[in-house]
Each structure stands twice: as C-alpha cells, then as structure tokens.
Amino acid sequence: MTSPALAPLNRALLSVSDKTGLVELATALAARGVELLSTGGSAKTLRDAGLDVKDVAEITGFPEMMDGRVKTLHPMVHGGLLALRNNETHVDAMTAHGIGAIDLLVVNLYPFEAALARGADYDEMIENIDIGGPAMIRAAAKNHSFVTTIVDVEDYSALLAELDANDGQTSYAFRQRHAQIAYARTGAYDAAVSTWMAGSIGEETPRRRAFAGTLAQTLRYGENPHQQAAFYKDGSSRAGVATATQHQGKELSYNNINDTDAAFELVSEFAPEDGPAVAIIKHANPCGVARGDTLLEAYKRAFDCDRTSAFGGIIALNQTLDATTASEICNIFTEVVIAPDATEEARAIFAAKKNLRLLTTGALADPRAPQLSYRQVAGGLLVQDKDTGHITLDDLKVVTKRAPSEAELADMLFAWTVAKHVKSNAIVYVKDRATVGVGAGQMSRVDSSTIAALKAARMAEECGLPQSLAQGSVVASDAFFPFADGLLAAAEAGATAIIQPGGSMRDDDVIKAADDAGLAMVLTGMRHFRH
C-alpha cells in the first residue's frame, strides 16, 4: 500500500478528558472548513463556545449509554478511522454502510494517573480506566497512512502549524510521528493500569510488567559524550530530582540527575525535626554526611570528611537552605544543591554562581515508602522492592563482651544509615554524628576498610589535627565480615565499635577478634548490598 505524502483533513473527531485548548483548536479547525464530531462533555464545551458540532450519537444511531461507557465503540466510528482510502473494497463498504471517513482524531484519556496520584479508592480507579479512547487511538494510529492522531494538548499548535504549511493537509512524516506518540501514550496508560492493579490485589510478581515514562528533557549525552540520553518522569509524586523546581543554572546532565537523586535519597533518611543534616555526594557515593546543631555546622562537618572528593559534588540538605550556609557552600565549586526549600537571601547568594544549580523539592522523600526498583540486564529486567530497610536500637544485638556506650550506639545507627547508600563493599567510619571515612565499591571489604582509614588520616592532616579522624570512631559494614581481617583493619584505624549484619559462617571468629581487640560489636540481622 502506498501512503499519500499529504492527506486532506475534512472531518475530525474530538473527544477529550482534558479540555485545555479544546475550543481554540476546534475554532481553528472549523475556520479551515473541517467538520467537527464530538461526544459528551467535549461536545457541550464546543457548543457553548458557539461552534457547530455533530454528536457521535447522530452518526452511530445509538445514544451514549451506561454512564458514558459506551459511545464510540461502533463501526460508524471505527470504520471511519480504519478504512483505507485507496482500497476499493474498503471504500465500497463505507459507501454501502454510510460510513464517513474521519481524518483527524483528537483524544486524551480519562485521568487514571491523576486519580492514582491522589489515592483514589478501587472503584474510582476502575471508573477512570478509559476504554473507548485507547480503542480509537489505536485504530487511528494504525491507519496513519490517512489519519492524523493527536493525544497531547501540547501538540495542538504543532497540528495547526502543519496544516498551515501544507494547505490544510498533513504530511506522512507528521502522521507517523504522532502515531508513535499515540501508541506510546496507550502503552504508558496500560502500564499504569496494570501496575496499579498488581499492587491493589497483592500480585508481587505479575506475569508481565510494563514500565513507562514521559520525556522531561533531552540530555546532551549520557554518562559519556558518545552515549545519547534523555530523562523521563514516571508521574509519581515522590519528592526528589524529578519533582524539584530548578531556580538557576544550566540544565542538569545525566550524571547530575543520577547523583542528585542519590544525595537526596540519603539526606531524606534524616528527619529534620531531629536536627539539620547534610550529605555530599560524588559519583552516587557519599563523600561526607553529618548532622550539626545548625545547617552550617552540618555542612562543614560533612565537607571535612573528604574535602577533595567534595569538589564538584552534589550537596543535599534536609532543611531550608539559609544564607549563611549558602555563602559557605559558595567557597568551593559545587554542581548541584538540593533542599526542601531555600530562603530568598540564599537564592540571591547563589545567583552569583551561574553554573551552580539550585533545586528545591518542597519536602523530603519518605525513606519508608514502598517503591519498585529495576535494572536492565541483557535480555531482561531485574525488579525488586526499593531498599527501605530500617532498624532501631531495639533491633541491635550486642555480641561482644563489651557493650557499646550510648554515644557509640547513636553513631552506629548513623553510620548504618549512611552505609545503606554506599556502593558495596561499603565501610563507613562515623564520629559524633559525622562520617570521617568512607570506603566504597571495592571488591574486598578489607580494601574498603583501608581506603576509608586512609581518607580519615589524610583529612586529619589537611585539617591540622594531631591524629586520624577515625580515632575513637565507630564503623559500619553493609554486609557481614567474612573474615576478621576487615574488622581488624578498622580497629587498627582507631575504631572502637562496629555495626554489621552478621550471618557469616565465621561470625564466631569475627566476634572473638572483636573481643580480643576490646571492640564493642552489634549485629543488625539486615544487610544493605548496593551493587
């Protein structure tokens, strides 16, 4: 079948849930001599605007029924959308049954995603599943050789520009592009419905999973300049980089978005009512995390964990950014700062740093909220629950002769929280609610311990301190010590207490080594691998 380069537009069907721009579009179409068909609320809106509109019921011979569930599911509609204009048999069938061609379909769907976002109950969700809309969209998009399909309000102006450029016709390339947009829309819609239903009936591993996103922005490149990339939003309301307002600076890059997400997810673990907290991230790993009596103090303490790595990093704060802290942050080059809010004074200070991006989210993310996480592998996807694991003091099991002090316990829980966000193998030294050494992503746990200790010693020297920052610290390990060597490396660096999951066949050997070194150790019974 040969598709025409240009297809005329004589008759349009407009049936939309979102009425934004509908009257303007229909008015422009009518001015071009296009016959308008419509349904229900869309038809009423157009008539109220003084436009001549024919109800779909007039051409089907059936009124809308069953609370609007049935109105466009009819051969007079689908025949008009699907008929091949250059197929003699199709044309004869249209003539025989009085089916008029529909050249343009403008449909947007029942607001299922919006109902989901506001937490609608089961019955309301079911009623927000559109049937006729997706059916028409799929029919029109299939017949894009002749029919133009528009599913997004943002494309109304592009349609009118296309008609202006082609004397009231649409080009084949335009129809192809919008057919693809149409199928992606119904695909995303069905993904939202199927994912919601799986959750609502407790189906943890449904036979098929569908994931969808809406383009937020194209990116200059991905992790490296030879990789193309884009950022898509999934429509969820979780506070973070996807929902944030950017107040200044150039567009975020692929790596910026990835690292900012890591930073904000980490800082969201620290409730603002318990005091200020700051996380500094580089390459999705924490290079400094701290609490303080003020936001400024928390930032300085986080920065002092690894001043070298903090350069060009991402800074996340759990409270409103103030002017004093903003001024201090401006002393080094920083890619992104993200916080629930920022004062006008802070924003004004950042305004002088044109390359610094400031994002505000309005809230912290809920670290306990269930969420799905997925990762591509060759030939498929690995899907799992997001790691929302959380422990309290009551969950800790003391396994050494020496029990930890209250101060050590507080630092242990802090270190454990940070370790959850460090790439495995993870080792985190903490003293007085601040990281003083972080070892991330090493193939050997003992190497992570050694690297963290070296960082602590190096920063002590840079800060002019007489001994390593790790002296008198606690250490967290994201998984068990398979041998005592990693534990002993931590002890040698100056750690006095250890928090780790336990569960190794050699736990007894590790506990004995801790006792021999005079260390306190607690087990969590939970690990936080982050590969």
Answer whether residue 396 shows pLDDT above 70.
yes
Count Cβ atoms below 10 Å from residue 200 Cβ, excluding itself. 12
- Which 3 state secondary structure label does DSSP give 260? helix
Which of 173-177, 206-210, 512-516 has the highest mean predicted lDDT (pLDDT)? 173-177
Residue type, 176: Q
Answer whether residue 314 shows pLDDT above 90.
yes
- Which 3 state secondary structure label does DSSP give 452? helix
- Is there a shared CATH topology between the 236-360 domain and the 395-523 domain? yes
Question: Checking DSSP bridges between strand 169-171 and strand 397-398, what pairing results, if any?
Answer: unpaired
Asked if 53 and 38 touch (Cβ cutoff 8 Å), the reply is yes
Which pLDDT value is given to residue 341? 97
> What is 6-200's CATH number?
3.40.50.1380
Answer whether residue 148 shows pLDDT above 60.
yes
| Of the candidates 192, 184, 65, 173, the residue with the CA atom closest to the CA atom of residue 128 | 192
Is 410 exposed, middle or buried (CB count within 10 Å of its CB: 0-12, 13-18, 19+)?
A: middle
247 vs 51: CA distance, rounded Å: 42
The number of helix segments (H) and strand segments (E) in the chain equals 19, 23
Rounded to the nearest 5 percent, the helix, strand and coil shares of the chain are: 40, 20, 40
Burial of 295-310, coded b for 16+ CB within 10 Å and e otherwise, reads bbbbbbbbbbbbbebb
Answer whether residue 306 shows pLDDT above 80.
yes
Catalytic residues: 142, 283
- Stretch 508-519: mean pLDDT: 92
Distances (CA, A) of 174 to 12, 29, 166, 486: 16, 17, 11, 62
Alpha-carbon dihedral angle through residues 196, 198, 201, 206, given to the nearest 10 degrees: 180
Residue 272, both tokens = 């603002």
Lowest mean pLDDT among 10-14, 61-65, 273-277: 61-65
Q: What is the pLDDT of residues 85-94, one digit of tens each?
A: 888 888 888 8
336 vs 148: CA distance, rounded Å: 42
| DSSP-derived secondary structure letter, 518 | T
Percent of the chain with pLDDT over 90: 71
Residue 68 pLDDT class (50, 70, 90 cuts): low
DSSP sequence for 178-241:
HHHHHHHHHHHHHHHHHHHHHHHTT-SS-S------EEEEEES-SSSTTS-EEEEE-----SST
Which pLDDT value is given to residue 69? 65
Answer whether residue 235 shows pLDDT above 90.
no
Which pLDDT value is given to residue 74? 80
Determine the Cα angle at 115 with ends 123 and 376, to 5°: 110
438 vs 453: CA distance, rounded Å: 8
Answer whether residue 59 shows pLDDT above 90.
no
Spans of all domains in the chain: 6-200, 236-360, 395-523
Answer whether residue 168 shows pLDDT above 70.
yes
Answer whether residue 67 shows pLDDT above 80.
no
Which pLDDT value is given to residue 389? 93
Q: What is the pLDDT of residues 99-115, one digit of tens each?
A: 889 999 999 998 888 88
Residue type, 401: K
Q: What is the pLDDT of residues 360-387, one digit of tens each?
A: 999 999 999 998 898 999 999 899 999 9
The correct answer on CATH 3.40.140.20 for the domain covering 395-523 is: yes
167 vs 148: CA distance, rounded Å: 15
* Candidate CATH numbers 1.50.40.10, 1.10.10.60, 3.30.1330.10, 3.40.140.20; the one for domain 236-360: 3.40.140.20
- Stretch 12-17: mean pLDDT: 94
482 vs 501: CA distance, rounded Å: 11
Q: What is the pLDDT of residues 448-507, one digit of tens each?
A: 988 988 888 888 888 888 888 889 999 999 998 888 888 888 888 889 999 999 988 888
380 vs 369: CA distance, rounded Å: 26
Residue type, 141: A
HEC readout, 69-119: CECCCCHHHHHHHHCCCCCHHHHHHHHHHCCCCCCEEEEECCCHHHHHHCC
Chain mean pLDDT for the chain? 92
Whether the ω angle into residue 425 lies within 30 degrees of 0, i.e. cis, is yes
Beta bridge partners, 55, equal 38
Residue 430 pLDDT class (50, 70, 90 cuts): very high
Which pLDDT value is given to residue 237? 85
The DSSP H or E segment spanning 397 is strand 397-398
Answer whether residue 344 shows pLDDT above 90.
yes
Answer whether residue 40 shows pLDDT above 90.
no
HEC readout, 47-82: HHCCCCCEEHHHHHCCCCECCCCECCCCHHHHHHHH
| DSSP-derived secondary structure letter, 267 | H
234 vs 51: CA distance, rounded Å: 37
Answer whether residue 131 shows pLDDT above 80.
yes
